[in-house]
Amino acid sequence: MSNQPYRTALVTGASSGIGAAIVRRLSEAGIEVHAVARDAKRLAQLAEETGCIAHALSVSDQAGIEALVKSVEIDVLINNAGQSRTGNITRTTVEDIDALVDVNLRAVLQLTRLVLPGMIARDRGHVVNISSIAGHYAFAGGNTVYHATKAGVHSLSQQLRCDLFGKHIRVTEVSPARVETEVFGRLIGDMAEAKKRFFDEYESLLPEDIANSVAFAVLAPQRMNVSFMEVLPTMQVVGGLNFAKKTAEAV
């Protein structure tokens, strides 16, 4: 750690899944981690386990986020918090669109906007955006708004590197495929059914796989910026082409 310039990190969506795994991994590396999530009980348990500093706060709480950023010198920002929904755009409600845009994109933009000035002033920092393969590929069954927000995070990550050219501030985008978390259970409203349907017969990624990917980028030598990582299970591929047949009417 003698050559590691980062002392503090802020992780959003930290109470479970990928976020909690990142908190554990960065804490093990000797970094003081500020863990942000809405679930105060889980955050308290994580703080007891890891020594992280818990902030029971929604990323959509602009005033709360601003107060937090003013009180902490943040070297590493991990934009991990995210939500999803089921259904395509024709089955999406106004509330679903607002929630996904607020958490998946607007909060990422706002937090990045608030944290970067301090990084620039110190000429030291690292922004890590957890996106998704849904931001790069279209596939049947995916939620349209989720895909759109994650594509926005991908574009943001690319543009940030241009904005920060000439500064010792790194930007990393980690784009996972299927990870075994509670997200699928929340989507269908049944954790046991989600485990059976999505994980029991598949070898998916685990949250610690993504945490280790983040740690690899954050702990890498300062001369090295891991700009983009697409992390998939060995037995999962992306892509594919569907070609619909002509209908009888069209013929």
Q: Which amino acid is at 163?
A: D
Encode 214-251 in three state secondary structure: HHHHHCCCCCCCCCEEEECCCCCCCCCCCCCCCCCCCC
CB 195 within 8 A of CB 185: yes
The 10 Å Cβ neighbour count of residue 122 is 14
Cα(220)–Cα(226) distance, rounded to whole angstroms?
8
Catalytic residue flag (residue 137): no
List of E strands, 109-224:
125-130, 169-176
Q: Are 179 and 205 in contact (CB under 8 A)?
A: yes
In order of 76, 83, 111, 128, 208, the CA distances from 118 in angstroms are 11, 28, 12, 16, 29
Q: Chain-centre distance of CA 203, in angstroms?
A: 21
DSSP state of 89: G
**In the beta sheet, which residues pair with residue 37?**
56
Give the active site residue among 6, 137, 146, 202: 146
Rounded to whole angstroms, the Cα distance separating 127 from 125 reads 7
Nearest to 108 by CA among 65, 142, 161, 74: 65
Query: What residues are annotated to the active site?
Result: 146
